[in-house]
Amino acid sequence: MNLEGILNVSGKSGLFRVISNTKNNVIVESLENGKRGPLHSNNQANMLDEIGIYTYNDTVPLSNIFDSIAKKENGGQAISHKSSNSELINYFRVILKEYDEERVYISSIKKVIQWYNCMQAAGLVILPKETKKETKKETKKETKKETKKETKKETKKK
């Protein structure tokens, strides 16, 4: 999923898309209502494509997590970020099995799910396409399994 140009601004709800840059500020548009406004240099903003979630081995980019949610939900809305903590933790374990539970707080999980739902409502969620290599590998594995089953059946008949 392409998160380029999408911002989270501290102190403001929702996500924003960068429209243009000026000398002293950045013009952004809200994904929720389409209103445009300036972000000054004293506003703290984070680009979503620079955010990652800690795992025990590495840091996973937010775009990969959004892809996992989109696959799980088939492009639809995820659970509400206002769900109970145990529901959110269990949901996030399904999406990212190896996330570091000591460094990823429940507030971070809520933000990720809220951001995904905001992007989905704005129509920015696109289901990731399988690559040709993955589909070729899967079909090769399936044909190998089928031939093994057929040979086993033939040997049992004899």
- Is there a contact between 39 and 28 (Cβ–Cβ < 8 Å)? yes
- DSSP H or E stretch at residue 53: strand 52-54
Q: Is 125 exposed, middle or buried (0-12, 13-18, 19+ CB in 10 A)?
A: buried
Q: Residue 1 has what pLDDT?
A: 78
Q: Residue 88 has what pLDDT?
A: 94
Q: Residue 132 has what pLDDT?
A: 47
Q: Residue 75 has what pLDDT?
A: 84
Q: Residue 126 has what pLDDT?
A: 82
Q: Residue 127 has what pLDDT?
A: 79
- By three-state DSSP, how is residue 107 classified? helix
Using the predicted structure, report yes or no on whether residue 15 has a pLDDT greater than 80.
Answer: yes
Candidates 140, 41, 150, 51; CA nearest to 104 is 51
Higher per-residue pLDDT: 81 or 132: 81
Average pLDDT over residues 90-111: 93
Using the predicted structure, report yes or no on whether residue 146 has a pLDDT greater than 70.
Answer: no
Q: Which two tokens stand for residue 116?
A: 């995904």
C-alpha span between 51 and 59 (Å, rounded): 9
C-alpha span between 132 and 2 (Å, rounded): 20
Q: Residue 135 has what pLDDT?
A: 46
Q: Which two tokens stand for residue 107?
A: 């507030």
Average pLDDT over residues 103-129: 90
Helices 106-121 & 85-95 angle (0-180, nearest 10): 70
Candidates 85, 18, 70, 20; CA nearest to 47 is 18
Claim: this prediction has a pTM higher than 0.85: no
Using the predicted structure, report yes or no on whether residue 21 has a pLDDT greater than 80.
Answer: yes
C-alpha span between 124 and 93 (Å, rounded): 24
- Is there a contact between 3 and 19 (Cβ–Cβ < 8 Å)? no
> For 140, phi and psi rounded to 5 degrees?
-65, -45
